[in-house]
Amino acid sequence: MKVLVIGANGQIGSHLVKKLSDSNQHTPIAMVREDSQKETFESEGVESVKADLEDSIETLAEVFQGVDAVVFAAGSGGHTGADKTMLIDLDGAIKSMEAAKKKDVKRYIMVSALGAHKWHKDPDALKSKGYYRAAKFYADDWLEKSGLELDYTIVRPGRLLNDAGTGQVTISENLEHDTIPREDVASVIVSALNNTNTIGKSFDVLSGSTYIDEAVKQV
Which residues does 115 contact at the CB level (< 8 Å), separation at least 6? 122, 125, 156, 174, 175, 177, 204
Confirm whether 81 is domain-assigned.
yes
Q: What angle do CA 50, 4, 194 make, to 5 degrees?
A: 165
Answer positive or negative: Cα dihedral of 68, 155, 144, 92.
negative
Confirm whether 200 is domain-assigned.
no
- Tally the domains of the chain: 1
CB-based contact 113:136 (threshold 8 Å): yes
97 phi/psi in degrees, rounded to 5: -65, -45
CATH number of the domain at 153, please. Answer: 3.40.50.720
| Local confidence band at 12 (pLDDT 50, 70, 90 cut-offs) | very high
pLDDT at residue number 129: 62
DSSP three-state, residue 76: coil
Confirm whether 21 is domain-assigned.
yes
CB-based contact 88:71 (threshold 8 Å): no
Reply yes or no on whether the pLDDT at 24 is more than 70. yes
Confirm whether 68 is domain-assigned.
yes
Instruction: Identify residue 1 by its one-letter amino acid code.
Output: M
In angstroms, the Cα distances linking 110 to 20, 36, 78, 201, 215 are 16, 26, 18, 11, 18
pLDDT at residue number 198: 98
Catalytic residue among 108, 132, 138, 152: 132
| Local confidence band at 193 (pLDDT 50, 70, 90 cut-offs) | very high
Model pTM score: 0.95
Residue 132 designated active-site: yes
Confirm whether 74 is domain-assigned.
yes
pLDDT in tens, 107-132: 999 999 998 898 777 666 555 567 88
Instruction: Cite the DSSP H helix spans in 44-108.
Output: 57-61, 82-85, 93-102
Count Cβ atoms within 10 A of the Cβ of residue 106 and give its class: 0-12 exposed, 13-18 middle, 19 or more buried: middle
Count Cβ atoms within 10 A of the Cβ of residue 191 and give its class: 0-12 exposed, 13-18 middle, 19 or more buried: buried
Domain housing 128: 2-158
Q: Which helix (H) or strand (E) holds 135?
A: helix 130-144
Confirm whether 186 is domain-assigned.
no
Confirm whether 182 is domain-assigned.
no
Confirm whether 172 is domain-assigned.
no
